[in-house]
Amino acid sequence: MFEEAAFREKMAGLQRRYHELSSLLGDPDVIAKRSEFAKFSKEHADIDEMVSAWKVYTKTEDDLAQAKAMLAESDDAEMREMAKAEIHELEDSIERQQQEIKILLLPKDPLDAKNILLEIRAGTGGDEAALFAGDLFRMYMRYAERLGWKTEQMSSTEGTSGGFKEVIVLIQGKDVYSQLKYESGVHRVQRVPSTESQGRVHTSAATVVVLPEAVEVDVQINENELRIDVYRSSGPGGQSVNTTDSAVRITHIPTGTVVICQNEKSQHKNKAAAMRVLRSRILETEIAKQEESERDQRRSLVKSGDRSEKIRTYNFPQDRLTDHRINLSKRNLKGILDGEIGELIDALRAHAQAEALNQAQDL
């Protein structure tokens, strides 16, 4: 990504800018200008982690220089062995720290800080697929709870035997998209359904789509290009849920995108929820077009959000989860479906960072 001299020049420049920003943020004239203060505050926060990592790195270099001087100057055999061991440890630490800094220097995904709309749909497998979609829903909700994220169910259609045919949830919190963006794709489950009397293992699937939440600034929608229909909400089996026309279906005519929301009793609330989902789906389409045009430069195995791709298998007879993109297998499906997916998400993010770093070094 950077030659050694360029790497040091880059970090020295960031350190100088960090000190400049620190001074600016203490300037009364800057503080009085709210927009300017906010801009400098964001830039300061963006480079803070890199500058802190660089300080640790240069301190480790100083320690290494001292250890090498000790080795060169000492005649004591025991002291020399201690110095050699310290040098070996510090050299390993420097290599690791440099890699971490280079990862921090990679261009940030501008969507990483966004909230998300999580869409889970039952795929092949009938009632068992709906039950599995319900399991995935619970898994993500428990993970969100562990991280202190806020969740809001926007729309859902229950399966006839439980679970969901489809459920859409808004998840709000710090860097939600950066954590969950690799979850998009087909999730497959292998287990004995509760309705199976012969004890045979069945394979079912559910589709997960992670959309960055779009606001009006991100996507402009012309009201004249929308067809809005209202009707009465209904539950499983056609049972009437409301006696008023509160359910809302919005069709974006130029793209053919259709969104239905019927969870709320208020037509106004359902329309607002449907518009949030619609904006995010249109933003996803625009992002996909951009990535398609840049695929030769940017696409990597983990970054693929192709919802048709089988990304993961949950094998109950063997109590094993396998993520096919990074060939990672983990035991303890009970814990995983209870929201213990932090290690898996960290592994996916680390793999994506390594891939991005390799691509940057090849340029």
Query: Is the same domain home to 71 and 182?
Result: no
Residue 200 pLDDT level (bands cut at 50, 70, 90): confident
Query: Is the same domain home to 227 and 278?
Result: yes
H helix count then E strand count, the chain: 10, 11
Calpha distance 24→8 (Å, rounded): 24
Query: Is the same domain home to 318 and 255?
Result: yes
Residue 292 has a pLDDT of 65
Query: Is the same domain home to 69 and 152?
Result: no
Query: Is the same domain home to 246 and 268?
Result: yes
When pLDDT is averaged across residues 337-363 and rounded to a whole number, the result is 84
When pLDDT is averaged across residues 152-178 and rounded to a whole number, the result is 92
Query: Is the same domain home to 59 and 208?
Result: no
Chain Cα centroid distance, residue 356: 15
Query: Is the same domain home to 234 and 266?
Result: yes
Question: Given the DSSP bridges, would you call strands 310-315 and 185-191 parallel, antiparallel or unpaired?
Answer: parallel
* Residue 243 pLDDT exceeds 60: no
Q: Where in the chain does DSSP place strands (E)?
A: 116-122, 150-158, 164-172, 185-191, 202-212, 226-231, 247-252, 257-261, 310-315, 320-323, 328-331
What digits encode the pLDDT tens for the residues 47-105?
998 999 999 999 999 999 999 999 988 888 889 999 999 999 999 999 989 888 888 88
When pLDDT is averaged across residues 158-166 and rounded to a whole number, the result is 92
* Residue 252 pLDDT exceeds 60: yes
Residue 238 has a pLDDT of 43
Residue 361 pLDDT level (bands cut at 50, 70, 90): low
**148 located within any domain:** yes
- What CATH number should be reported for the domain holding residue 149? 3.30.70.1660
Domain of residue 35 covers 4-105
Choose one of 54, 83, 105: the last residue of a domain: 105
Choose one of 105, 134, 168: the last residue of a domain: 105
Query: Is the same domain home to 204 and 323?
Result: yes
What digits encode the pLDDT tens for the residues 20-34?
999 999 999 999 998
Residue 304 has a pLDDT of 41
Residue 260 pLDDT level (bands cut at 50, 70, 90): confident
* Residue 14 pLDDT exceeds 80: yes
Of 125, 200, 110, whose CA–CA distance to 163 is shortest?
A: 125
Residue 340 pLDDT level (bands cut at 50, 70, 90): very high
Amino acid at 98: Q
Which of the two residues, 310 and 243, has the higher pLDDT score? 310
Residue 199 has a pLDDT of 77
When pLDDT is averaged across residues 141-154 and rounded to a whole number, the result is 95
Residue 184 has a pLDDT of 92
Amino acid at 208: V
Question: What's the domain count of the chain?
Answer: 2
Residue 270 pLDDT level (bands cut at 50, 70, 90): confident
Residue 267 has a pLDDT of 83
| Average pLDDT across the chain, whole number | 85
Calpha distance 227→240 (Å, rounded): 24
What digits encode the pLDDT tens for the residues 298-338?
344 344 434 456 899 999 999 999 999 999 999 999 999 99
Calpha distance 134→208 (Å, rounded): 12
What digits encode the pLDDT tens for the residues 208-238?
999 888 765 567 787 888 888 887 766 544 4
Contact by Cβ (8 Å): 191, 202:
yes
Calpha distance 60→94 (Å, rounded): 7
DSSP, residue by residue, 267-333: HHHHHHHHHHHHHHHHHHHHHHHHHHHTHHHH--TTT---TTSEEEEEETTTTEEEETTTTEEEE-H
Residue 281 tokens, joined: 């789906």
Residue 256 has a pLDDT of 85
- What CATH number should be reported for the domain holding residue 82? 1.20.58
Residue 2 pLDDT level (bands cut at 50, 70, 90): low
Query: Is the same domain home to 195 and 155?
Result: yes
Query: Is the same domain home to 40 and 159?
Result: no
When pLDDT is averaged across residues 124-131 and rounded to a whole number, the result is 91
